[in-house]
Structure 1
Amino acid sequence: MINTAFIGLDYIVDITEEGGKIASSAAHAAERNCIDNANKALHIARKKGWLTILVKVGFSLHYYEQPKNSPMFSKVHISNALALEGKGTNFHSALDVQPTDLVIIKPRVSAFYGTMLEAALRANKINRLVMAGVSSVWAVQSTVRDAHDRDYEVYVLEDACAAINEKMHQTSMEMLSIIAKIIHIPDMTNL
């Protein structure tokens, strides 16, 4: 039996909304209607009875989990970016978050690193993942690669992903097509 989960990655204020503290992909996400498309995907997933998971990157008050040697994360504390106590790690104001969604906080790029994600997937006997998020280049690629290496059947919902620009996004999708199936929202009805 195939059990499926939809995983939405980093649809948070600091990353996906104009004015977010590290929102280099916000304009592309808006251009591609990522949040609207993520909502469509969440609606389909809920209707099909799939486990719906929303993942956000963030750090606690004193940034204890912050990797100080990471070029990506080493300076986020200076601007209070990705602070779990702040508004920047709230989900995008237009994202349709429901009480039944499993919310996971991650301290790194991949949703599997240092989180309860795999335990939740195994407990629910999930073997197929449909993933989307911002950014295609970082969170999506990293989590898809980890899922692939954990033997999940992986799909990437291309129209609910964004990057800094279309070229980077398309390059990411091309790379991921080797280890995952790239799909669009209408394809979800056939899964």
Structure 2
Amino acid sequence: MKSMLLVMDMMNDLVHSDGVNAKTYVARGTERGMYANTVRAIASARAANVKIGYVRVGFSPDYRECPPNSPIFSKARDNGLFKLGTWGTEVYHEFAPQPGDFDIVKHRVSPFYGTSLEPILRAQGIGRLVLCGVSTNGVVQGATREGHDRDYACTILEDCCCGATDEEHEFALGGLRRYAEVTTSRDVSFAST
């Protein structure tokens, strides 16, 4: 079955040392080796001719899609976070997209809700999602559960993910093992099955 690697929310606002949320993910991601592991996963996917999709959370300059009652997104407008067209919503340079990669912009936690992801997956004949990103208990969990319910086989690269805390990361993975294979960037196989 054909796979797609989804690199999710690995954008400057969240994973760059100068990003607004650097204190949340940069130290933990560095400790876990998340950056080098994600570079490895992307290179392995490219070597196997696997499609790559970059999922980014972002809002129009006037924040028209930003839900005002969301505990996660309600402060985005006040703090100038996740504004499309700015440096903060660009993919982190070490993971830079290449021509032919897919750019999926989302306005909620799930990469499926109100996005182009499912039409892209169907058009490309994708049956398996290989998932990585921040946070494990946010977008990775959302993609896994919803991907599973849409009949995609899901594989999580746990060493290419992190949560705001180690506990959040481990707790999320504990619950997701029922819905997905959990492996690492070294052990994943991108070969079609």
Q: Distance in 2 between matches of 1:8 and 1:166?
A: 20
Cross-structure match for 1:15: 14
Q: Which amino acid in structure 2 is aligned with residue 8 of structure 1?
A: V
Q: How far is the alpha carbon of 1:170 from its aligned partner?
A: 1.2
Which residue number in structure 2 is paired with residue 126 of structure 1?
126
- The total of aligned residue pairs comes to 190
Shift of 1:12: 0.5
Distance 1:99 1:31 in 2: 31
TM-score by length of 1: 0.95
For residues 83 and 26 of structure 1, the distance between their equivalents in structure 2, rounded to whole angstroms, comes to: 20
Distance 2:63 2:154 in 1: 32
In 2, the alpha carbon distance for the partners of 1:162 and 1:107 equals: 20
How far is 1:22 from its partner? 3.0
Deviation string, structure 1 residues 66-116 (Cα, Å, up to 9, x no partner): 011101101111111001122110111222421221111111111101110
Q: CA deviation at 1:33?
A: 2.2
Task: Supply the distance in 1 between the matched residues of 2:42 and 2:101 (Cα, whole angstroms).
Answer: 9
Provide, for residues 133-169 of structure 1, a one-character-per-residue CA deviation record: whole Å limited to 9, x for no partner. Answer: 0100101001111100001011001110011122211
> Are the counterparts in 2 of residues 9 and 132 from structure 1 also a CA contact under 8 Å?
yes
Quick one: distance in 1 between partners of 2:55 and 2:103? Answer: 6
Query: Is structure 2 residue 179 aligned with structure 1 residue 179?
Result: yes
Unpaired segments of 5 or more residues in structure 1? Answer: none
1:74 is aligned with what amino acid? S
Q: Distance in 2 between matches of 1:56 and 1:35?
A: 17
SS at match of 1:78: helix
> Is the 8 Å Cα contact of residues 134 and 162 (structure 2) preserved in structure 1?
yes
- CA RMSD in angstroms comes to 1.3
Q: Which one is further off, 12-21 or 131-140? A: 12-21
1: CA distance between counterparts of 2:182 and 2:175? Answer: 10
What SS class does the counterpart of residue 77 from structure 2 fall into?
Answer: coil
Aligned AA (2:92): H
**TM-score scaled by structure 2?**
0.94
In structure 2, stretches of 5+ residues that fail to align are none
Which has more strand, going by share of residues? 2
Corresponding position of 2:80: 80
Read off the aligned partner of 1:42 and give its amino acid letter: I
**CA separation in 2, counterparts of 1:39 and 1:190?**
15
Letter in 2 for 1:20: G
Alignment of 1:38-57 (within 5 A): 38-57=38-57
Q: Is the 8 A contact 2:42 2:95 kept in 1?
A: no
SS at match of 1:5: strand
> Structure 2 CA distance, aligned partners of 1:95 and 1:64?
28
Distance 1:190 1:65, change over 3 A: closer
Separation in structure 2 between the aligned mates of residue 163 and residue 136 of structure 1, nearest angstrom: 5
Which residue of structure 1 aligns with residue 64 of structure 2? 64
Runs of 4+ in 1 over 3 A off after TM superposition: none
